[in-house]
Amino acid sequence: MKDCLLGKTLGELKQICAELSLKSFVATQLAQWMYSKRVRSFDEMTNISKASREALSEKYDLGVREYGAIAVSQDGTKKYLFEVSCPTAAGIETSAVEAVMIPDAERRTLCVSSQAGCKMGCRFCMTGRQGFHGNLSVSDILNQFISIDESAELTNTVFMGMGEPLDNYPAVSRVIEVLTADWGFGWSPKRITLSTIGVLPKLKDFLETQRCHLAVSLHNPFADERKSIMPVQKAFAISEVVRLIRQYDFSGQRRVSFEYTMFAGFNDDFSHADALIRLLRGLECRVNLIRFHKIPDFPYDCSPESRMIAFRDRLNDNGILCTIRSSRGEDILAACGMLAGRHSQQ
């Protein structure tokens, strides 16, 4: 299998050009075609000579792959399905992953996947139900940005699709490098949010080295209750995650938010709101309350609207900024893992 160019840094592209006896400026042209213009084939790189393109394509694959299926919601949300081949202990596994493009006024946000399936086993999540089918490569992740119809219009991204991004951090941090580098997409880190359930050692790396926003899936402030739906709590307690986050500055451009999916009768009474207030007091942050879309074999429904509003108001009245997140793409099963899950059952 040929190595992919998508995901290489400018330095690596220069090295490749040197090995192929191509002029160094070809590396800069390559980076521009791949990351600024986001072309899908060598043929489109018209200012690179045909001979140079042939030398490159003989040894390297560009790494751009067309999406397989697409579902479009009435609200404009679009869900793309990609086929990926990931190395696993059992050999190469082919799986389906998804990326969701969410339009909102002038914004076009892409929710990207970082793994095929997931090993974290959160009980309320369809991706978790599928088990783990491998890490996506850097080019698999970047391809989600490049091959969708709205590639040129994208304004923001969230690592909130399938998988736990900090469990595939080497690839994810390289993608962030490509997105933010001058020779890459040239995006400000403010346009990027990484969402995690709190994998502590990698979270520390992320907080030390990146300037992107952070979203933490919290869902319950009580350790025993959180553990019952999120096994990660056994290894990395949410209290420790918040303790780590408190060591970093979120008063400037970088923001931290906490995702809190509302399950009726499980995490939605005032004892939970008050524990959340105690946990987050003094931290510059926002809590997003999320409506839950019921999945099979999970005992809880979404909390009623009145409960969500009361919960939100309790937090806001006690100094914790809290909003109820609007649901997008419900008619196309936009909840995490739904499209890929359905696809694999066909």
Q: Among 52, 127, 137, 233, which residue sits at the site for ligand SF4 (rule: CB under 6 A)?
A: 127
Catalytic residue among 285, 302, 322, 336: 336
DSSP 327: P
Residue nearer to ligand SF4 on the CB measure, 198 or 221: 198
CA distance linking residue 267 with residue 198, whole number of Å: 19
Residues 6+ away with beta carbon under 8 Å from 146: 6, 34, 38, 40, 64
- Provide the pairing of β-strand 213-217 with 192-196: parallel
Residue 125 in the binding site for ligand SF4 (CB under 6 A): yes
Residues 284-343 that bind ligand SF4 (CB under 6 A): 336
CA nearest neighbour of 231 among 213, 219, 243: 219
DSSP characters over 36-98: IS--SSGGG-TTS-HHHHHHHHHHEE-------EEEE-TTS-EEEEEEEEEEETTEEEEEEEE
> Applying CB under 6 A, which of residues 22, 97, 120, 214 lies at the interface with ligand SF4?
120
The binder of ligand SF4 chosen from 7, 63, 128, 134 (CB under 6 A): 128
Q: Which residue in 4, 17, 98, 122 is the catalytic one?
A: 98
SS3 245: helix
d(CA 233, CA 185) in angstroms, rounded, equals 36
| C-alpha span between 112 and 254 (Å, rounded) | 20
For ligand SF4, which stretch binds (CB under 6 A), given 55-63, 139-147, 157-165, 293-301?
157-165
Q: How far apart are CA 58 and CA 164, in angstroms?
A: 35
- CB nearer to ligand SF4: give 180 or 217: 217
Strands (E), 115-154: 115-117, 132-135
CB of 41 to ligand SF4, least distance (A): 32
Distance CA 82, CA 144 (A): 8
CB of 138 to ligand SF4, least distance (A): 19
Question: Considering only CA atoms, which of 291, 238, 231 is closest in space to residue 260?
Answer: 291
Q: How far is the CB of 297 from ligand SF4 (least distance, A)?
A: 14
Instruction: Give me 299's structure tokens.
Output: 């005992």
Yes or no: say if 214 and 256 are a contact pair by the CB < 8 Å rule: yes
Residues 212-251 that bind ligand SF4 (CB under 6 A): none
**Is the Cβ of residue 285 or residue 336 nearer to ligand SF4 in the bound state?**
336
Considering only 8, 26, 35, 164, the residue that binds ligand SF4 (CB under 6 A) is 164
Is 336 known to be catalytic?
yes
- In the complex, residue closest to ligand SF4 by CB: 128
Name the minimum Å distance from CB 120 to ligand SF4: 4
| Binding-site size, ligand SF4 (CB under 6 A) | 12
Q: Where are the beta strands (DSSP E) in 209-270?
A: 213-217, 256-262
Which residue, 52 or 127, has its beta carbon nearer to ligand SF4?
127
Closer to ligand SF4 by Cβ: residue 99 or 336: 336
Which positions are annotated as active-site residues? 98, 336
Residues making contact with ligand SF4 (CB under 6 A) = 118, 120-122, 125, 127-128, 162-164, 197, 336
